[in-house]
Structure 1
């Protein structure tokens, strides 16, 4: 069984919108979150979806699921005080409903441009290796920032660096137990599931994702998303 846990608990402060959280902003009349969910809804290998949502927007999310026919969502759970806690809520719900002997794909609700091929590759990597961290090549210079000055610290060889994205995928029991360890130790500072799993000794295997697999966090991200969607629509009109 393959279960997607979609994290849509952010408030969108960097999007500078006061009306709706970023995941509910609309593109061509459809919310960003629905674009994301449809990738998993329409994939034949995905059995269920757990949606993690802002508690004050759960009823709105339920109405959207009904409107757009997203029937693989088996549960909507409220987010927590942090991204780590919110993902834990989703993972815990999946484990409670289905047990731990399954593949879980943890994905951002505001990362709508994934592909069916990426989902398939992630599932196959987890079954073979126990994990799948979606990555893309680093295309900018990366360096460590000096804490007490404006000086540039160590500069890394860009050709050896990759950017971690999503989905980040694991065996459900493994990620659930890692979260429980972190909670027992009072750790709530892991930046993502990959860093959590690596800390608790799990080897991480990479899967290459498409370059357009962006996370819509700022207004400029939203404009890029619109440009990509418009380009795809134009190609369809031209029959290309």
Structure 2
């Protein structure tokens, strides 16, 4: 995506419903905790920047015609990093530079829309990536019915206490009629623009949200639907909770759970080291094979192919093909993992058992786990490496080679069309 701080009015876009995403803040309560203290809207949740998740969530409602990010003057490189690439959606307007306060930032955003003004505008925090369709739908419906200013909000459920500086409870506050404000806050565009301009002309820049500006300007502010799930990321705990929530949501979408198994064996030949699980192990022999003969990664690769119903390692990397001669087997496993990702799935767990009398696997077990996890982009807890002997029976017992057995659990989205019986 090309970043241009100038409002894109020459493009002729005249949205009916626009959303301003306020992303010019510094996130002081979370600064310094992650990613070299970058502003929180650019911190990644499950490998996607918070700002990008927020913008995507608004667009996915199908109710917003244009999204205008308002960003800090120093953040254009961070914005490009977060929002570039495949998210080059024409509904995302080039970002506008914000001001010293949230109120000034919003006014900058509103004024940038004046060349082709929308009928309605939703003003939303960049740090609320869980905005839902029904929240936007309710706001739009109420605006259609004649409301001029709305706050997405939820009634306060907890008992409220007023405390003094020593944290001593003074009084209990009656929570009836008390609501917790969220965003988006939704307005008729002309009304909120006039309210913000009036406040600026009066020298007021201290309002903490747009509803306060609207109230001060005399607009009738009503409540629209919020949700307890429409949370704002403010603290490190919020960040950790949001990460868990996204990962859980992603897992729950992958209900097609499959398991595959793999088995491989390679004989010894003269050499000075073997490669197992992507790890070099000093030894008085090596394993014989067309590639690097990593029996562990070969078994895992076949297990993943088995879970996908996608042939086997010999089908994808035939030993008759000279390009695989001496190849590192992590290439094979990466290929299999990418096949899972291409289907919209994820590897859930890998378990491998190495069968040999020598070398001893124990001293290298954790290195193997780490390397397998790295190749497959898995947490270490989702990789198991075990070892056993064959009690001196068979070819492994005679120390003629090494065998490995693996299982892989894969989660995929259901493909009803692809699963039809033919």
Taking structure 2 as the reference length, the TM-score comes to: 0.53
Deviates more, 1:168-177 or 1:42-51: 42-51
Q: Does 1:4 align with 2:19?
A: yes
Matching of residues 111-190 of structure 1 within 5 Å = 111-128=128-145, 129-143=147-161, 152=169, 155-190=172-207
Q: What are the Cα deviations for residues 5-33 of structure 1, in whole angstroms up to 9, with x where unaligned?
A: 00011112110324311000011111011
- Separation in structure 2 between the aligned mates of residue 45 and residue 90 of structure 1, nearest angstrom: 19
User: Cα gap change, 1:126/1:70 in structure 2, threshold over 3 Å: closer, same or farther?
Assistant: farther
- The alpha-carbon deviation at position 145 of structure 1 amounts to 5.6
Stretches of structure 2 lacking an aligned partner (at least 5 in a row): 1-15, 257-413, 415-422
Q: Which residue of 2 aligns with 1:22?
A: 40
- The alpha-carbon deviation at position 212 of structure 1 amounts to 1.4
Q: Aligned match of 2:102 in 83, 86, 94? A: 83
Q: Does 1:198 align with 2:227?
A: no
- Separation in structure 1 between the aligned mates of residue 142 and residue 43 of structure 2, nearest angstrom: 32
Q: Which residue of 2 aligns with 1:53?
A: 71
- The alpha-carbon deviation at position 154 of structure 1 amounts to 5.5
Stretches of structure 1 lacking an aligned partner (at least 5 in a row): none
Q: Which residue of 1 aligns with 2:85?
A: 67
Q: Rg: which structure is higher?
A: 2
Q: What are the Cα deviations for residues 155-213 of structure 1, in whole angstroms up to 9, with x where unaligned?
A: 33223211001000101111111111111111111110011101111111111222111
- Separation in structure 1 between the aligned mates of residue 27 and residue 85 of structure 2, nearest angstrom: 23
- Separation in structure 2 between the aligned mates of residue 44 and residue 113 of structure 1, nearest angstrom: 15
User: Cα gap change, 1:199/1:155 in structure 2, threshold over 3 Å: closer, same or farther?
Assistant: farther
The answer to which structure has the higher helix fraction is 1
- Separation in structure 2 between the aligned mates of residue 209 and residue 44 of structure 1, nearest angstrom: 18
Q: Which residue of 1 aligns with 2:28?
A: 13
User: Cα gap change, 1:142/1:199 in structure 2, threshold over 3 Å: closer, same or farther?
Assistant: farther
Secondary structure of 2:253 counterpart:
helix
Q: Which residue of 2 aligns with 1:34?
A: 52
Deviates more, 1:156-165 or 1:219-228: 156-165
Tell me the number of residue pairs that the alignment of Structure 1 and Structure 2 aligns. Answer: 237
- The alpha-carbon deviation at position 143 of structure 1 amounts to 4.7
- Separation in structure 2 between the aligned mates of residue 37 and residue 58 of structure 1, nearest angstrom: 16
Q: What are the Cα deviations for residues 93-148 of structure 1, in whole angstroms up to 9, with x where unaligned?
A: 12x2322x5100000011000111211111111222122210012132335566x8
User: Cα gap change, 1:159/1:63 in structure 2, threshold over 3 Å: closer, same or farther?
Assistant: same
Taking structure 1 as the reference length, the TM-score comes to: 0.90
Q: Which residue of 1 aligns with 2:274?
A: none
1:134–1:164 contact (8 Å) kept in structure 2: yes
- Separation in structure 1 between the aligned mates of residue 104 and residue 246 of structure 2, nearest angstrom: 32
1:9–1:86 contact (8 Å) kept in structure 2: yes
- The alpha-carbon deviation at position 152 of structure 1 amounts to 4.8
